[in-house]
Structure formats: C-alpha cells, structure tokens
Copies of this chain bind each other. A is one copy, B any other.
Amino acid sequence: MGQIYMDHAATTAVRREVAEAMKPFFTSKFGNSSSVYDLGREARRGLDQARDKIFKLLGAERAEEIIFTSGGSEANNLAIKGVAWAYANKGKHIITSSIEHPAVLDTANWLTQFGFELTVLPVDEYGLVDSQKVASALRPDTILVSIMHANNEIGTIQPISEIGKIVRQHGALFHTDAVQTAGSLDLDVDELNVDLLSISAHKFYGPKGVGALYVRRGVRLEPLIHGGAQEKRRRAGTENVAGIVGMATALELAQTERKVESARLTKLRDKLIKGLQIIPDTKVNGDLENRLSNNVNVCFKYIEGESLLLNLDLKGIAASSGSACTSGSLDPSHVLLAMGLSHEIAHGSLRLTLGRENTEADVDYLLEVVPEIVERLRAMSPLYQ
C-alpha cells in the first residue's frame, strides 16, 4: 500500500533541488557570514544571493527589507511585538481577526497585559474578513492591523489588497501572515498594500526552521531576539545559511511553477470536494471562490476527527483535522467555531491539502476510502440515528 500525503498545509518535504542547494553550506561553505576571511565571505555571498532572490520575488524595493527568522511563528511574533514596542508611544491599539494562526492571536493577546488594546474582528460563515469592519475598527491610536493572506485550515483567501489600502490610508501599519500563500499565490507587497509579511520555508518544499519577515523600508521594529549585529540589528543570531539558501531556492521554484501547478491542483481539489459532498450530512467549509488551490475542508456530521484520521492513516492516507483531539485541547478549531459551526460539527472536520506529488489516482483512492470510513464511524456513533 502506497502512502498518500495530503497534508501539505502542515508541512512539505524538502524538494531535491532545494536539498542540493543547501548541501555545500553545511560542509564546504560553512563559515560564519560575519567573518572577514574567505570562508565567511562565501557564506555571506550565499546569504546575500538568497536575500536578493526573496526580496525580488516579493516585489520589495530592497534586500534590507527582508529579515530572516526561524520560521513563520517567529516572523509573526517579530512583526507584532516588534511594531508594538517600536510604536507604543504613538498608540497601543492593534486589530486582527478571529481566524488568525495562534502565532498572531496569542502574540497580540500577550501584549494586552502591557496596556495594548486588541480588537479581534469576526468573520462571516465562509471565513472572510469584511474590509468595512476593518475600516470601522480603526482608531487614531491604531498602530497595527494583522490579517492573514489565506487561512491554513479552510483555505479562504482574504481581500488583503483592499484591507491594506484602507489601513495604510488611515496611517496604521499593515501586516499579513502569508505563510500559507508564499508558495502558491502572487506575493507582490506593493499590490497587496502590506508593510510587513511573514513566510515560512517548510510550507513550500523548503526546510523547517527557516522563515522571513518582509518589513517595508522606514518601518521601525524592535528586535524579538536581541544580541549580535546580524540582520541589521533586527534579529540576532548566527544565520542559518543553509536553511536560508534552501528557502530562497524553494520560493523561486514555487513562484516559477505557480500558475501551472495551481491550475492542476484546482482541478484535483474540485473533484475531491465534489466527490466528498455526495456523502450525506457533509458540509464544505470555507469560501469556494476565494480559496487556496490545494485546500479541501469538510465536516462529516456525527463523527469525530481524530478517529477519522486514524482510519485514514491505516489506509495509508496522511491528512489533518480541526478536531480538538488532534491538538490536545478541549475546544476544536477556533477557525471553524469563528465561522459559526457548532462544537459537535467542528469536531468532525477533515482537511485535505494537496501538493506536488498528488495525482488524480490519489483523489480517486480517497473518494473510494472516505465514504466507507465515515459510514463505519457513524455506525458507532451515539449521535447518529
């Protein structure tokens, strides 16, 4: 039985070209990029080239607008705490949405103990943030708005460009968590009207433990990690050169292949959604129009997510759920709840996120296997009559 991986929103495998690009920086070009000697300069060159690639791919103005981090969570923390501490004199109001990743929500919440005020905007039943609600929430002391580009669970893509226009006209800074979109959507920071943007390499076939924060020129930022002079004093620590080179290579490949691959995945996605909808008492979550090309998210009523995942795993399928039982908490996905789903239904969610290795045969296999499993679990469920 082959393994079918359909959890690309969780993480992806490092692709061959990326692994190759990283290799020399582990061994022969291992120098510390801050050093003056030849080995250090080689590392510096690797770093500079990676930064150049990335700033251009994001449509940024200059290389210095990119700060390398240890991943998406650090990038989000740096964006929010960094702006908050740097602009606390100007104001202490921050706006975000109820469906953000915990690395945004928890971070913004943490700041409230220091006198920062937080407005968490609701979303509609499709998980969309209303740009008019952003406009009404803006206050004279609003320093930052953070709305994610696309949601990791339901794949809903937000009207970032529109929101950004409103926020920036108002004079506040605008951050977007683009961790889920960096490998699949066009990321032009000027078109998106963003001042800060987070990415994470392992979501687009790069290595885990590397990310970046785009910070528009002129935006002040207090470091999250203090210490050495790396990253123009905005992020201390010896740079993960191999990882950074890997990220740049991965982003370049993903952006080059973006259109063709997106079209291919959209077809598979739609076939999958259509096939799963045939199962009775099934609800498709998220917006069907403004949706990541690889995201499928459905709720099967009367059954619980983890037992579904375990059964899928036994059939060789790797998938994910917004079930509380997979996260170790009591409450299921805060995203599904924010969209108005009941706890009971939210517990039965299944997320399938497609990627490079998936084929139509995989989709067909899934459509064969899932109905049986759902039926079996429902037969065992005290909620199903």
Q: Write the residues of chain A forming the contact surface with B, with a CB cutoff of 8 angstroms.
A: 3, 5, 7, 10-14, 19, 26-28, 30-32, 34-40, 69-74, 76-77, 101-104, 106-107, 110, 200, 202, 207-210, 224-229, 236-243, 306, 309-310, 312-313, 317-320, 326-329
Closest B residue to A200 by CB, please name it. Answer: B238
A318–B225 CB distance below 8 A: no
Within the assembled complex, what's the spacing in Å between the Cα atoms of A232 and B11? Answer: 20
A318–B19 CB distance below 8 A: no
A7–B32 CB distance below 8 A: yes
With A74-B70, A74-B237, A328-B229 as contacts: A11 and B31 at CB distance below 8 Å:
yes
Q: How many identical chains are in the complex?
A: 2
B30–A13 CB distance below 8 A: yes
* 27 residue pairs bridging A and B, Cβ less than 8 Å apart: A5-B39, A10-B31, A10-B32, A10-B40, A12-B30, A14-B26, A19-B26, A34-B326, A34-B327, A37-B312, A37-B319, A71-B237, A73-B225, A73-B237, A74-B237, A77-B225, A77-B226, A103-B225, A103-B228, A103-B237, A107-B226, A207-B242, A209-B238, A209-B239, A210-B240, A229-B328, A243-B243
> In the complex, how many angstroms separate the beta carbon of A152 from the nearest chain B beta carbon?
11
B240–A39 CB distance below 8 A: no
Closest B residue to A18 by CB, please name it. Answer: B26
B209–A77 CB distance below 8 A: no
> In the complex, how many angstroms separate the beta carbon of A245 from the nearest chain B beta carbon?
11
Choice from B12, B13, B242, B309 contacting A208 with Cβ under 8 Å? B242
A102–B228 CB distance below 8 A: yes
A209–B26 CB distance below 8 A: no
Chain B neighbourhood of A326, CB < 8 A: 34-36
